[in-house]
Structure 1
Amino acid sequence: MVWYGQCIPRHAFLLWLVLKNKLKTQDRLAVWEAGSETNLRLMCCPLCNYGRDSRDHLFFQCSFSAKVWNIVKKRTDLRYVSGYWSSIMGWIEQNTSSKALDHIVSKLVLAAATYFIWKERNNRLFSNIRSKEEMVAQYILDTVRLRIMGFKIGRDVNSRKLLEMWEIKEDDPG
């Protein structure tokens, strides 16, 4: 799922960490924290300021991530995948070895979404820089669109539909 020819390596690496639940989220760091109950209560999601900063909350369930996810998944085969980790994992397990163009693009979007949501989380925690959901979604869409532009794509109907969906013009043969 993570490592395939068309992946973006830094996105794939972060997605690999997400799948293994190895990101240094606040809930995992709390195990090492010998601090007080007050410190544990302060550890909330920096994106929505509500839920616990954990993998399951951070990726796609917090209100910020859910909005980003709902914007970007419209251009993929992930349209009908809910924002629950189990639903996302089910799609991953079904399509891990698929070489279909729409599945490759969906994998790119999933990896880019985790990458840019994690980046936004870190920007808010460590740099006090905040972006709106629409801006993060646009980073994801722009990155995936640029990656698709580097593909060698056939001229079949499904390929044309995908290019149209991503607003990519086919090269003129003449």
Structure 2
Amino acid sequence: MDVGPNRPDHWVWAGAGTNKFSVAAVRELLERDHEVSKWRIIEWSKWVPRKCQIFFWRAEMNRIPTLEAFQIRNIPLSSVHCSCCGGGIETIDHLFTSCGYTAMVWDGLASWCKIHRFSGSKFEDVVDFHNSLSVPTAKKDVIHGIVIIACWRIWKARNEKMFSNKVVRIEEIIGEIKSFSFLWYCNRPRLKPILWEDWCSFKLI
């Protein structure tokens, strides 16, 4: 608000551009101050619950509480090594790509979905994995959803190991990913119905 002794009060736009407010001026301000053009756009899944997708989105932005994140914030820790394999520093990239425990989960899912093994060193490789597959679009969409659910379940297993000292068997994780994904997929009425037997053998089309 512009206040002066000899003129009436009035509002003034203090952002980019002229003193007049406009949508174009707001866009210019956002692009200049936050570098919107450099942000990554996450591809959402239509049938995966929001809790899994929001976790996946936060992980892509490096916004989940890994041990590395605690170390950066100067929180005292007894160790910053991976809670699952103990091999390297627990970063998002390590936990979801380089960890030996996680690698066995990806191998099991690749065998189930009848696709090539996952290979990558960064979380963005996990995000883009479904796009590297030579399969029909419908299968890509399902595999993308399964990857999101897998990341969410891997994180849960990591928390169980860290806070309860419970080592979740790989077979149990893969089994839960199958059952959760089947339940959530089948509860979307617009999607093609599928039997549990076909889901387990990954006969989607």
In structure 2, relative to structure 1, the CA distance for the partners of 1:169 and 1:78 (3 Å cut) is: closer
1:57 lines up with 2:102 in the alignment: no
Aligned to 1:82: 119
Matched, 1:118 2:155: yes
Answering whether residue 107 of structure 2 is matched by residue 70 of structure 1, we say yes
In the TM superposition, what is the alpha-carbon distance from 1:9 to its structure 2 partner? 1.2
Do the aligned residues in 2 keep the contact of 1:123 with 1:129 (CA within 8 Å)?
yes
Q: In the superposition, relative to structure 1, how do residues 2 and 12 fare at CA in structure 2: closer, same or farther (>3 Å)?
A: farther
Matching residue within 129, 138, 143 for 2:180: 143
Q: CA deviation at 1:167?
A: 4.5
Post-superposition offset of 1:77? 7.3
Give the structure-1-normalised TM-score: 0.74
Conservation of the 8 A alpha-carbon contact between 1:77 and 1:103: no
| Residues 20-78 of structure 1 deviation map (CA, whole Å, 9 limit, x = unaligned) | 1111101111011165xxx47x2111111221111001013211100011101333375
TM-score after normalising by structure 2: 0.64
Larger Rg: 2
Q: Name the residue aligned to 2:171.
A: 134
Where 1:60 maps in the other structure, the secondary structure is helix
Q: 1:91 aligns with which of 129, 133, 153?
A: 129
Structure having greater relative contact order (Cα 8 Å, sep ≥ 6):
1
Could you tell me which residue of structure 1 aligns to residue 71 of structure 2? 30
Matched residues in 2 for 1:111 and 1:88: separation? 9
Q: CA RMSD in A?
A: 3.1
- Shift in Å, 1:136: 1.1
What fraction of aligned residue pairs are identical, expressed as a percent? 20
Q: Structure 2 vs 1, CA of residues 76 and 64 (structure 1 numbering), >3 Å: closer, same or farther? A: same
Unaligned residue ranges in structure 2 (runs of 5+): 1-41
Matched, 1:16 2:57: yes
- The one-letter code of the counterpart of 1:19 is E
Deviates more, 1:122-131 or 1:8-17: 122-131
Pairwise CA distance, 1:129: 2.2
Cα shift readout 1:86-125 (whole Å, capped 9, x = no counterpart): 5334436x48xxx932122111111111101100111111
With over 3 angstroms needed to count, the CA separation of the structure-2 counterparts of 1:44 and 1:104, relative to structure 1, is same
Hey, what does 1:6 align to over in structure 2? Answer: 47
Whether contact under 8 Å (2:106, 2:118) holds in the other structure is no
